[in-house]
Amino acid sequence: MGGKRRKSDDDDDVEAEASASGWKKKTRTTEKEEKEKKEPLRPSMIKNKEKRSELHAKLKQQKKLDKRAKAKARDAALKRALDLGEEPPEKKVPRTIENTRELDETVCKPDDDELFAGNDADEFGSILNQQQTPKILITTCRFHSTRGPAFISELLSVIPNAHYFKRGTYDLKKIVEYAKKKDFTSVIVVHTNRREPDALLIIGVPDGPTAHFKLSKLVLRKDIKNHGNPTGHKPELVLNNFTTRLGHRVGRLIQSLFPQDPEFKGRRVVTFHNQRDFIFFRHHRYIFETKEVKKTESKGKKDKEGKSENVPEQKTIARLQECGPRFTLKLISLQHGTFDTKGGEYEWVHKVICLITKPTPSFNSWSYIVKHFSHFRLAPLLFYCLFLLF
């Protein structure tokens, strides 16, 4: 009754024909084996934590070995090509956000005579042509914290000929009028929010423009490890990647804050590096040192004992020491003239571009109403009201 069925001769003939044709009966184990062959084992597929971490370490080590083997093969191919006098293999360039960015039509070209002809006629021409010495007025917002004046004290050490004035209850327009009377060339306002500086307002005096920057990632000098103390010399200014028309204008605005005759004896350098529309500020001191490097000559030249001679070679290197502060700026708006929130004309305003292509459902959409309200008990009443409306 409950015993196993005996194999008949017909069953044996069927199995023999199937094996001859290459067909195999699929079972659960065979399906699992095929799946493992197609898809390699990943750490996320293992539930045991110890085995998962062990597999992760093995995969990481194997990836490291593969990377090292590729580097050795690449170096060997380069050496072989140089020995044979052939052209070396083409060097692969990694894909980054910078080199895959779409071409910007507003990038300034070196032969753009129209752009550079207007440089002498803009608001910064007298300062950049050394006809006028920059004089900066620095103040705060009406309600500021202790971290705001600490940041301002470091700005005073960075920007030469800068003066700090307490804001008090004065309106910003009155401060700009005062700066015009006292022959200041720029006004910098440090805005604080929740005890942290979060914005910079740079106003060109007397004709503008006014630039509003968002300030983030502020690190003061005391928080920088092995920081240096700057001297009173005029710093050198480095502006990187201000290549578009807007960047050219913002770069000239920043350039007008510093004197155009740096004192190289002080070995100070102030850097504004623009990358992906973020301006990174750094302040360093540098020094040149001569270092001896032992260079091993070719195998043919050997000393009396038969060892290769190590000829010392002098090499000049540069060392940097950060002086601080360190922060990041993001341009929010650029306005014609001095500060005016009501009647001011804006040259450029930052707009947040939504990159989501999927359309947002509208409440006027019939499909949206059916999808989100059909499960309620009041759905029939809702449909009846919509029928009356239509």
Whats the size of the chain, residue-wise? 390
Position with higher pLDDT, 389 vs 75: 75
Is the pLDDT at 375 greater than 60? The verdict is no
- Give the per-residue pLDDT at 147: 84
Is the pLDDT at 271 greater than 90? The verdict is yes
Mean pLDDT confidence for 223-243 = 93
Calpha distance 64→43 (Å, rounded): 17
Work out the pLDDT band at 29, boundaries 50, 70, 90: low
The pTM of this model reads 0.68
Question: Which segments of the chain belong to CATH 3.40.50.10480?
Answer: 113-292+314-349
- Give the per-residue pLDDT at 304: 54
- Give the per-residue pLDDT at 39: 75
- Give the per-residue pLDDT at 15: 58
Mean pLDDT confidence for 370-376 = 45
Work out the pLDDT band at 27, boundaries 50, 70, 90: low
Is the pLDDT at 313 greater than 80? The verdict is no
Q: What's the pLDDT tens digit per position in 318-351?
A: 899 999 899 999 999 999 989 887 778 999 999 8
Q: What is the mean pLDDT of the chain?
A: 81
Is the pLDDT at 202 greater than 90? The verdict is yes
What's the CA angle centered on 110, arms 95 and 241, to 5 degrees?
Answer: 45
Is the pLDDT at 270 greater than 80? The verdict is yes
CATH class of the domain defined by 113-292+314-349: alpha beta
Q: What's the pLDDT tens digit per position in 42-96?
A: 888 899 999 999 999 999 999 999 999 999 999 999 999 988 888 888 888 888 8
Position with higher pLDDT, 376 vs 262: 262
157-166, 223-232, 342-351, 373-382: which range is least confident on average? Answer: 373-382
